[in-house]
Amino acid sequence: MDELRIRFERLKRQLNRKFNKNRKSKNKNRKRPHAGTKKKRPKPRERAEIIREEPRVKSRPKEERIQKAASTNKKRKKKKLTKEEFEKRKKKKRKENITEIIKFMLPIVLFAVFVFFFILNTSPHMVDGDSMKPTLLDGDRVIVRRTKEPKRYEVITFSPPVKSEFQYVKRIIGMPGDLVWTEGNDLFINHQADSLPKASELSDANELPDGTIKVNISEDSLAQMSQLKKIPKGHYFVLGDNRNNSSDSRAFGLVDGQAIEGVVSFRFAPFNNIGWIK
């Protein structure tokens, strides 16, 4: 038993020695870094790998940078405008607005002119004189609609049966088929009666038939009208609204329908008196 113990202790000692030797050899292989030494820089390949692993940030283009810089400069450089500069800007804005309105309205106006003058067969005129007061005044600008058959009490333009460089504008009072008779220098027109009144009823003292118009006419007109019992077809008796200052059928007689240009339908100037003519 003693021998066995001795052997076991020998083996134990030998194992402890071997274990201690291996442990010392491992510690010798490990080199501790000195306190004053610097870390070695990674090689260029290692750097490239590190850069690849890191997320890349996209660089902004130069134009965006310039724009942002300009906007920031503008914000910084904002100055208070003077009164003169403010008024100049206002005037510029007004001019721009006016030009835009003109550009928008010009095609509409041209289209309206085309419709009036070509499709509706109209023409513009300017009133000269006071014979149609208060309906039309001197200087009024009107549109005449061409028509072959004007109606009673419409205002027409026509070439008068007297020497004149201008057209006349008057109102139709007598239509074709109206009864007419004369007494002295007076002319009577009636569009309601079927026949002329009797000779005893033609006196001024007697009451005139309903719808009769009495007009004092000149000798030239009397010579024409005294020969008629009715206004002939295609002829018209016209008067100015301002009877005291008008040269009309009282002076030159009936107007031929072929001399009529058209009916005055609309006044477009002056602007404060725009409207339809009745």
The model's pLDDT over 199-234, given as tens digits with 9 standing for 90+, comes to 655 555 467 788 889 999 999 999 999 999 999 999
Which range marks the domain in which residue 208 is found?
A: 122-276
Residue with the larger pLDDT of the pair 276 and 79: 276
Phi, psi torsion values for 179, nearest 5 degrees: -75, 140
Tracing tokens 């002295």 back to the chain, one arrives at 184
Per-residue confidence at 115, pLDDT binned at 50, 70, 90? Answer: low
Does residue 141 share a domain with residue 272?
yes
Residue 195, in any domain of the structure: yes
Give the residue-averaged pLDDT of 19-42. Answer: 58
Judge whether residue 166 has pLDDT over 70.
Answer: yes
Whether the upstream peptide bond of residue 270 has omega within 30° of 0, thus cis, is yes
Q: What is the 3-state secondary structure (H, E, C) of 165-218?
A: CCCEEEEEEECCCCEEEEECCEEEEECCCCCCCCHHHCCCCCCCCCCEEEEECC
Per-residue confidence at 45, pLDDT binned at 50, 70, 90? Answer: low
Which CA distances in Å does 145 have to 21, 33, 84, 158, 257? 133, 115, 52, 12, 15
Judge whether residue 73 has pLDDT over 70.
Answer: no
Per-residue confidence at 79, pLDDT binned at 50, 70, 90? Answer: low
Q: What is the pTM of this model?
A: 0.59
Residue 268, in any domain of the structure: yes
Tracing tokens 């007419």 back to the chain, one arrives at 180
Catalytic residues: 131, 170
Element (H, E) at 29: helix 2-29
Does residue 205 share a domain with residue 115?
no
Does residue 272 share a domain with residue 137?
yes
Tracing tokens 């061409």 back to the chain, one arrives at 146
3-state secondary structure (DSSP) of residue 256: strand
3-state secondary structure (DSSP) of residue 121: coil
15-24, 33-42, 65-74, 156-165 — which is least confidently predicted?
A: 33-42
Does residue 154 share a domain with residue 258?
yes
pLDDT number for residue 180:
94
Residue with the larger pLDDT of the pair 68 and 261: 261
Whether the upstream peptide bond of residue 134 has omega within 30° of 0, thus cis, is yes
Q: What is the count of structural domains for the chain? A: 2
pLDDT number for residue 205:
47
Q: Pick from 65, 98, 119: which residue ends a domain? A: 119
Sequence-ordered list of residues with C-beta below 8 angstroms from that of 83, at least 6 positions apart, any chain:
none
Residue 94, in any domain of the structure: yes
Maximum Cα–Cα distance across the chain: 193
Residue type for 20, please?
N
**Are 160 and 250 in contact, with CB atoms under 8 Å apart?**
no
State how far the Cα of 243 lies from the Cα of 222, in Å rounded to an integer.
Answer: 17
Does residue 253 share a domain with residue 223?
yes
Q: Pick from 104, 119, 134: which residue ends a domain? A: 119
Does residue 266 share a domain with residue 208?
yes
Question: Two tokens at 181?
Answer: 């008779």
Residue 112, in any domain of the structure: yes
Does residue 145 share a domain with residue 110?
no
State how far the Cα of 69 lies from the Cα of 56, in Å rounded to an integer.
Answer: 24
Residue 67, in any domain of the structure: no
**Are 138 and 240 in contact, with CB atoms under 8 Å apart?**
no
Does residue 207 share a domain with residue 101?
no
Task: Indicate which CATH number applies to the domain containing 211.
Answer: 2.10.109.10
Does residue 155 share a domain with residue 241?
yes
